[in-house]
Chains A and B, each alone.
Chain A
Amino acid sequence: AQSVTQLDSHVSVSEGTPVLLRCNYSSSYSPSLFWYVQHPNKGLQLLLKYTSAATLVKGINGFEAEFKKSETSFHLTKPSAHMSDAAEYFCVVRRNSGYALNFGKGTSLLVTP
C-alpha cells in the first residue's frame, strides 16, 4: 500500500532562514508524489508534483522537493522563509488502486519575525 509519513508535526523557522519539511514514502511502485499547502481556513493549493521525470521538482513560491529513491524521501525545501509561508503542509502519495491520494498528517510551519 502507498503511504507517506511526515516526520515533524510542527516546524518553526525565522523569517529569511531555510525551510525543510521532511516526508518519507512507502510504495511498491514508482510513486506519484505531491506537496500541498493549506493556509488557515482555506482550501488546498498544489505546491509541486513528482511523476517520475526529473528528481528535483520546482514548485510555486520558491519551494522545491527532491525525490530520493534510495532514501524513500521527498523532502520539501525553500531557501528563505517568508511570513506568508506560515501554513499547514501535506505530503501526498497517489494510490495505485483507484488513483485516490493518501495524505500525510501534515506539518504546521510557523515563521517568526
Chain B
Amino acid sequence: NAGVTQTPKFQVLKTGQSMTLQCAQDMNHNSMYWYRQDPGMGLRLIYYSASEGTTDKGEVPNGYNVSRLNKREFSLRLESAAPSQTSVYFCASSELTGPNYGYTFGSGTRLTVV
C-alpha cells in the first residue's frame, strides 16, 4: 500500500549511543517532516524538508540532525542519545496542492533511551 514507511518500529538505546531513524514515502510528495510525541504535549515538529535538497529546523531541533537523501527518503539522526529523547517519533509527508491536498503519517517509532 502507498504511504509512509518508518523503520525501526521499536528501539532501545543506551545514553550516548547514536542511531538513525529511516523514513520513506512513495507518493511523490515534495515535503517531509519529523515529529516527536510526548504525553500531554501533542506532536512537536523537529525538522522539516519543504523540498528535495532543503531542510529547516522546527520547534525542538536540539540533539537531532536530518538528511533529505532524495525525494523519497528523509532520515533523522540522534548523534548522542539522551533520556530526554525517549519519545514516539512520527515521519510525515504532504501534498500541498490539488484534490489530494493533505498529510500522510507513518506508523511511528517508539524510542527508549536508558
| Interfacial residues, chain A to chain B (CB-CB below 8 A) | 9, 34, 43-44, 46, 49, 51, 90, 98-106
Contact = CB atoms under 8 A, between A and B. Distances in A.
B106 A43 contact: yes
Interface of B: 31, 33, 35, 40-45, 48, 50, 56, 58, 90, 92, 94, 96, 101-103, 105-108
Contacts of A103: 35, 42-44
Nearest to B54: A98
Contacts of B108: 43
Interface centre among A98, A104, A105 (most CB of B within 10 A): A98
B8 to A, nearest CB: 15
A90 B56 contact: no
Contacts of B43: 44, 90, 101, 103
A104 B42 contact: yes
A51 B94 CA distance: 14
B58 A100 contact: yes
A43 B40 contact: no
